[in-house]
Structures are given as C-alpha cells and as structure tokens.
C-alpha cells in the first residue's frame, strides 16, 4: 500500500511515498536511501546547512524571543537597514522634542548590536552610537516593521549623551 507524507524542515519540503521510493527534496539538499538513518548529502554546503539546523541552539534566544543578528548580516540586509534608518531619524526627532538634543544633525558612528524578534511583523532592537562635530549619543531603540507593507513604527527608545568630542 502506498502512502504520502510531507515533512517540513526549515524552508525545504520533503516528499516520500514509501520505503522503496527515494525521497525528493525541493531544493535538492539531500536524498533518502533506505532507512531513516541513511541520508545521502550531495554537497558539503548542504551537509553544513543541515547540521546547523539540527544544532540550532535556543541559548541564542533571549527569554523573550530576541535573536542576536550578526552585524555583517545586519549591514547587508536591506530590511534591517530600512528599520535602522527609520529608527535613527525617529529617535533624533524624539530627542529634539524631549529636549535631549537641539537638532537632528547626527550621523551613525557605530552599531553595537542588533536583535530581531518575530511578532506579527518584525521587531528590531538597535544599540548604536551617533555623532556630530560636538558630541556622541548612545541610542537604544526598538522598531516594529512590516516590510511587505512598508510600515515602520518606533516602539521604544533611550537616548543619552555619551560624551563630548
């Protein structure tokens, strides 16, 4: 008797019909040969990706679901950059409104950390240093984003004068 099942692992879909039918994987990462323990990997990259997926460690998550984003990844990801740029402008505007700073003429000096959290969209938490010709600002802020709707919202912020130049 033949039966069908669908297994999901990350972004890859696995299909098989019976133990006599090889596994077909969308993306062709691996194929099934025989018993469940006999996976054949066709490339080192595929094997590495699978090992990373299997060894994914929940210690990387903070208690509330925030995931640390590698700074090189953050720098090259257009969605993260859009959220960061929006957040910087929003924090500077709030700083002027609240009287912490007198103008918005600051530029990004350093990104200390970026975290993301999946919600009904994405939350990004940034810890950055801004500078102008006179002083440095330390800013920690959270931006809510729904990139498919081009929606950004500043959820929280801390802005402190870190020092004078």
**91: CATH:** 3.10.450.10
Average the pLDDT over each of 5-14, 43-52, 65-74 and give the range with the smallest value: 5-14
- The residues with which 111 forms a beta bridge, in sequence order, are 128
- CA gap 39, 80 in Å, rounded: 36
Whether 116 is in a domain gets the answer yes
Domain interval for residue 47: 5-56
- Find out whether 37 and 45 touch, Cβ atoms under 8 Å: no
Q: Is 118 helix (H, G, I), strand (E, B) or coil?
A: strand
Please check whether residues 141 and 79 belong to one and the same domain. Answer: yes
The whole-number pLDDT of residue 60 equals 52
Please check whether residues 52 and 77 belong to one and the same domain. Answer: no
Please check whether residues 73 and 24 belong to one and the same domain. Answer: no
Whether 134 is in a domain gets the answer yes
Please check whether residues 51 and 73 belong to one and the same domain. Answer: no
The whole-number pLDDT of residue 3 equals 40
Q: Ranked by mean pLDDT, which of 1-15, 28-42, 144-158 comes out on top?
A: 144-158
Please check whether residues 81 and 128 belong to one and the same domain. Answer: yes
The whole-number pLDDT of residue 71 equals 97
Which pTM value belongs to this model? 0.63
The whole-number pLDDT of residue 103 equals 94
Q: Provide the b/e sequence for 26-48 (b: ≥16 CB within 10 Å).
A: eeebbbbeeeeeeeeeeeeebee
Please check whether residues 91 and 148 belong to one and the same domain. Answer: yes
- CA gap 154, 74 in Å, rounded: 18
Torsion from C-alpha of 152, 153, 158, 159, nearest 10 degrees: 60
**Six token digits for residue 52:** 């990373």
Whether 140 is in a domain gets the answer yes
**Six token digits for residue 149:** 């709707």
Whether 99 is in a domain gets the answer yes
- Quick: pLDDT tens for 105-135: 999 999 999 999 999 999 999 999 999 999 9
Structural domains counted in the chain: 2
Whether 88 is in a domain gets the answer yes
Whether 37 is in a domain gets the answer yes
Please check whether residues 78 and 127 belong to one and the same domain. Answer: yes
């Amino acid at each position: 008797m033949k039966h069908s099942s669908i297994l999901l692992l990350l972004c890859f879909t696995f299909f098989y019909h019976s133990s006599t039918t090889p596994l077909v994987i969308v993306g062709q990462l691996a194929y099934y040969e025989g018993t469940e323990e006999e996976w054949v990997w066709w490339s080192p990259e595929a094997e590495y990706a699978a090992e990373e997926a299997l060894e994914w460690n929940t210690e990387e998550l903070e208690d509330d679901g925030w995931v640390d984003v590698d700074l090189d990844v953050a720098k090259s990801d257009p969605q993260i950059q859009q959220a960061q740029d929006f957040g910087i402008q929003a924090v500077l505007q709030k700083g002027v409104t609240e009287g912490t700073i007198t103008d918005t003429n600051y530029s990004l000096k350093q990104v200390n950390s970026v975290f993301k959290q999946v919600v009904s969209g994405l939350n990004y938490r940034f810890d950055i240093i801004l500078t102008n010709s006179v002083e440095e600002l330390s800013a920690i802020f959270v931006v809510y984003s729904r990139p498919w709707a081009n929606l950004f919202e500043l959820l929280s912020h801390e802005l402190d004068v870190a020092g004078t130049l």
